[in-house]
Amino acid sequence: MSSTSATATADAQPKPNGLEGVVAASTALSHVYGDEGKLVYRGYDIHELAGKASFEEVAYLLWIGHLPTQAELDEFTGKLGQNRTLPDAVVTALRALPANTPPMDALRTGVSMLGATMTDLFDEVPDQDEAVALAARFPAILAAFHRLRQGEEPIAGRPDLNTAQNYLYQLFGTEPEERHWQPLETYLVLLADHGLNASTFAARVIASTESDLCSAITGAIGALKGPLHGGAPSKVLDMLNEIGSVDNVERWLTDALDRGDRLMGFGHRVYKAEDPRAEILRGMAERASDPDFFALSKTTEDRALALLDERKPGRKLYTNVEFYSAAVLAAVGLPGDMFTATFAVSRSVGWTAHVLEQLDNNRLIRPQSQFAGEIGKTFVPIAER
């Protein structure tokens, strides 16, 4: 037996699918000029910072608003270095995870545990000290998880090392080589913030409810994990490994597009020109990768761009940040399944800066939906349905 119903008449104009083009927040932190292929952090074009500024200087810039003086930087790096220890409860939780847990799930769990256990620090009102204390612990959580899943014990962070060096040190337990930590540092600079991307929006929505910092950042980690956002670079590596050789590029890409698959590392919601980070990462990959692997990546990129232009004319699909992130992070020595989590190490700065900015002038983020369901139904008791 069915009840009578009618379909609701639209009570609002349809909104752009996926909020494309909708301005949903105001920020002074960073901006993506999609048509020009330009990215700006607090007034600095990314080309001004990449390879010149340290990750710590960029974190200071995003959190505090200006590039630090030497004295300010010394004090700030000291603070970061003192925040690399994990409470026993967090290590115990990471130890309990199965070895095949995706690192992003381990990171999400670790951040959530930090919020639940470091209650003196992470109280109800996020502030600057919480942002530093949380972001500084991202590498420690990931390194501890990576060692535990291999049957090794976590090792303490070293306050004398910078973020990139310390991350590699805590992961592998050896003094990091410059050819590894330097590209990693530039990678961390490039990925630190990126306008109102999906994970940052998620963090701002949660913060706008006056929830706590760890809850907002746990939500952001969940959003970053998906392949349409930060989950692509390990899939790029899988794709390149599957392609295997330059001779196989054309056939592999054609088959993938014939199946209707998306090519990982291409396309972007905002960039309708080349992503400037992709351009910088391409150069880094050329210098840091094995020449055969770079040749495979470059041939794949060239053919993918040509095929996408042929099959999706007018869509302006270019190489995005994830494509050469794969080659750079592999050359740094990171396992493929740690790529997205390493992206999160960098983006933790942008996320927390956005949470603080949101709270500076907060109003609950609560949009409307256009109702497309039925109305007017009458309740039918269960025995009569």
How far is the C-alpha of 64 from the C-alpha of 111, rounded, in Å?
23
Query: Between 122 and 324, whose beta carbon lies closer to ligand ACO?
Result: 324
Q: Pick the closest to residue 171 from 195, 187, 152 (CA basis).
A: 152
- 230 is a contact residue toward ligand ACO (CB under 6 A): yes
Catalytic residue among 194, 322, 354, 357: 322
Detail the DSSP E strand segments found in the chain. 6-7, 30-33, 38-41, 44-45, 374-375
Per the CB < 8 A criterion, the answer to whether 268 and 322 are in contact is no
Query: Between 15 and 158, whose beta carbon lies closer to ligand ACO?
Result: 15
Looking at residue 346, its amino acid is S
How far is the C-alpha of 186 from the C-alpha of 358, rounded, in Å?
27
Per the CB < 8 A criterion, the answer to whether 268 and 286 are in contact is no
How far is the C-alpha of 95 from the C-alpha of 252, rounded, in Å?
40
Query: Between 132 and 192, whose beta carbon lies closer to ligand ACO?
Result: 192
Q: Pick the closest to residue 39 from 373, 321, 336, 371 (CA basis).
A: 321
Per the CB < 8 A criterion, the answer to whether 354 and 297 are in contact is no
- 316 is a contact residue toward ligand ACO (CB under 6 A): no
- 317 is a contact residue toward ligand ACO (CB under 6 A): yes
Percent helix, strand, coil in the chain (nearest 5)? 55, 5, 40
Q: Which of 252, 266, 294, 318 is the binder for ligand ACO (CB under 6 A)?
A: 266
Q: Which of 164, 232, 237, 239 is the binder for ligand ACO (CB under 6 A)?
A: 232
Q: Which of 56, 193, 212, 322 is the binder for ligand ACO (CB under 6 A)?
A: 322
Per the CB < 8 A criterion, the answer to whether 93 and 111 are in contact is no
Identify the three-state secondary structure at position 69: coil
- 228 is a contact residue toward ligand ACO (CB under 6 A): yes
Annotated active-site residue 268? The verdict is yes
Catalytic residue among 146, 194, 268, 354: 268
- 320 is a contact residue toward ligand ACO (CB under 6 A): yes
Q: Which residue is nearest to ligand ACO (CB)?
A: 267
- 263 is a contact residue toward ligand ACO (CB under 6 A): yes
The least distance separating ligand ACO from the CB of residue 313, rounded to whole angstroms, comes to: 10
Among 55-63, 73-81, 151-159, 229-237, the segment contacting ligand ACO (CB under 6 A): 229-237
Among 78-86, 257-265, 283-291, 372-380, the segment contacting ligand ACO (CB under 6 A): 257-265
Tokens found for residue 239:
């794709």
Query: Between 66 and 251, whose beta carbon lies closer to ligand ACO?
Result: 251
Annotated active-site residue 279? The verdict is no
How far is the C-alpha of 106 from the C-alpha of 103, rounded, in Å?
5
What amino acid positions are annotated as catalytic residues?
268, 322
| Binding positions for ligand ACO, rule: CB under 6 A | 18, 227-230, 232, 262-269, 308, 312, 315, 317, 320-322
